[in-house]
Structure 1
Amino acid sequence: MSEVKLSELISPEAIINFETGAIKASTLDSIINLLPFEMGFCDANDIFRWYSNNPNRVHGRRKEAIGRHVLELHPQVVHYVEKLLKDFHSGTRDEWEFWFPKRSGESGQIYQKFMAVRDENGKYLGCMDVTVNIDLFQGKEGKHTPDTIGEFIAVKPE
């Protein structure tokens, strides 16, 4: 059975209805690409299906990875990935998180969280990952985070 792409089923102008509101498919895609973190998803059969296409990715992704088994994509850490998936499938765990140095030789830290995606009955649907370049949130010159809600309310927009 050949797979059908979502773009072949619905138009970018299609409205996607959620419990909390509705949004146009193309708008949702644009919003996802603006988020200050990256996301990926593999299905219940551990096949890599989707990733956000943020412009300044810290965790490289290739379109060629879509449709491949997730264990093929992580040969250096396959034992960790196997354990994570086993725990997610069995329901032993619902999340794993890691902090690690950037691999590119740059200084800085990356945060990555893997979460089991389950339906309302607890059936395993797949695994979502979120990757964050922690440097984006640390040491920003000229930025001030108010210590109290009163300080926050007093800050005037520029």
Structure 2
Amino acid sequence: MSKDKLSDLISPEAVINFETGAIKASTLDSIIKLLPFEMGFCDANDIFRWYSNNPDRVHGRRKEAIGRHVLELHPKVAHHVEKLLNDFRSGARDEWEFWFPKRSGEESGQIYQKFMAVRDENGKYLGCMDVTVNIDLFQGKEGKHTPDTIDEFMTVKPE
């Protein structure tokens, strides 16, 4: 089975039921691609299972990484990753966040990354989710304006 398309894995018309509503798989996939941040997930056995396929990613991801042990994917910092995941698993820690400078090209700027333990309603560890944000997306870009009040927001004309 190919991992190239959502329709190869689940019917795009399949409805996923959540506590807060229901949504078609194809719609959820499209929404995730629009989010201004990227996400990844490794399961309780530290196997990398999923990542959001956002355009203009901060971290390059490859489909070949899916199904591999997360420590294989980060050999230079494997001991730190292992400690973090063990802390999540034991309950010693539920999240960890940090900022770091962009590392590619001549661009300057900051990246924010947060790792979170995913647990079920009984507290059982299900895995680790990471969220990565290019902070520059949210800092004053020339020509962009954030309204200070709701009245100012109401007067803004769509581009």
The TM-score, its normalising length taken from structure 2, stands at 0.89
TM-superposition CA deviations, 1:33-79 (whole Å, max 9, x none): 11100000000000000000011111111111101110111112112
Distance 1:121 1:4, change over 3 A: farther
Q: Report if the CA contact (8 A) 2:46-2:70 is conserved.
A: yes
Q: Report if the CA contact (8 A) 2:3-2:9 is conserved.
A: no
Distance 1:9 1:2, change over 3 A: closer
Deviation at 1:7, TM superposition (A): 5.5
**Secondary structure at 2:130's aligned position in 1?**
strand
Distance 1:2 1:153 in 2: 47
Percent of aligned pairs with the same residue? 91
Q: Report if the CA contact (8 A) 2:32-2:52 is conserved.
A: yes
1:157 aligned onto 2:135: no
Distance 1:65 1:153, change over 3 A: same
Deviation at 1:12, TM superposition (A): 1.3
Distance 2:30 2:9 in 1: 19
Distance 1:142 1:156 in 2: 14
**Secondary structure at 2:80's aligned position in 1?**
helix
Q: Report if the CA contact (8 A) 2:37-2:133 is conserved.
A: yes
Q: RMSD across aligned C-alpha pairs, in angstroms?
A: 2.8
TM-superposition CA deviations, 1:99-138 (whole Å, max 9, x none): 0011214311111100100000000000000010111111
* Greater Cα shift, 20-29 or 73-82: 73-82
* Greater Cα shift, 73-82 or 8-17: 8-17
Distance 1:64 1:4, change over 3 A: closer
The TM-score, its normalising length taken from structure 1, stands at 0.89
Name the count of aligned residue pairs. Answer: 158
Distance 1:46 1:5, change over 3 A: farther
Distance 1:20 1:41, change over 3 A: same
